[in-house]
Every structure is written in C-alpha cells, then in structure tokens.
Amino acid sequence: MSDERDLRPADFPVTRLVSTRWGDNDSYGHLNNAVHYQLFDSVINAWIAESVPRSRDELGVIGVVAESGCSYYDELHYPDDILVGLRVERLGTSSVTYGLGLFARLHGSSPEEAGPLAAKGRWVHVYVDVGSRRPASIPSPLRDLFASAAKPVV
C-alpha cells in the first residue's frame, strides 16, 4: 500500500467499535488529540485481556509502552462511533509493534460504511519481566495472539 491514508477497516485483522463521550471533544469541537492515544491503549489492552485471560503473575511479563505516535488525517467528533482497527506490524523477541486505524462511523452503520482513515497510530510494547523489569521474551500465548493479527505481507 503506497499511502497509509488508503487504509480501510479490512486492512486490520482486529476491529473494535467504541463510542465517543461528550467529554472527549475539546474547545475546537473535535476529539482532543489525547483521546486518540487513550483509544489505542484501551483497544490493545482489551484485546489482549479478552484473548489471553491470564494475570501478569501467571505470564511473568508485562508490556510497557516504549514508543507511540499518531498521524491525524481527519477530525473525529462526539457523538460518532469510532471503528478502531488493530494489526501487528512487527513481532520481535521481546517487543511488538501495533498499527492502529481510527475510522468514523455514524450510529447504526455497518463497518463497510466507515469513513476514511481519520488517524493512524503506532504503538510499541516491550515485554519485561514482572520482577526485574528487564526485557523478556514474549510468552507463547501472547506470541500466538500477536501472530494472528500480523499485517499481511504484500
């Protein structure tokens, strides 16, 4: 894909629909930039918790954010719903890089009716040992989950 602005919901193996809240808008009448990061963090961690329901003590590792970023292409607003797309763009020994897309959706519309890409996020988790907080290998339950959402090779 030559331009990431051409991304569509179908380019993301995982999607979640989230509702915006009145307090998400800023004084300019659109979602505050910080809300985009909250959506990224919430969708990633909910997906992991729902898919691998084990505690950090059982797994022995936690994912800490090492890097994040966002490119903004269009405004998002309350009260629209947002379709959040998630895919794994890189899977290393102790880190995983996610690509995320935010798409506006009018209430009651289908995912195919989502608007164009409004924002593209990049989020990197480095997995560290619970006790030492030093980088650790990603355990197989998490590695398998991440592999299931890997970006297709084009």
What is the full DSSP assignment across 8-36? Answer: -GGG-SEEEEEE--GGGB-TTSSB-HHHH
- Predicted confidence (pLDDT) per residue in 83-92, tens digit: 999 999 999 9
Q: What is the mean pLDDT of residues 115-134?
A: 96
**Architecture of the domain made up of 4-148:** Roll (3.10)
Task: Check: pTM over 0.75? Answer yes or no.
Answer: yes
- Predicted confidence (pLDDT) per residue in 99-112, tens digit: 999 998 866 666 56
- What per-residue confidence (pLDDT) applies to 83? 94
- Predicted confidence (pLDDT) per residue in 8-57, tens digit: 999 999 999 999 999 999 999 899 999 999 999 999 999 999 999 887 78
The pair of structure tokens assigned to 55 is 């505690």
- What's the CA gap between 71 and 88, in Å, rounded? 17
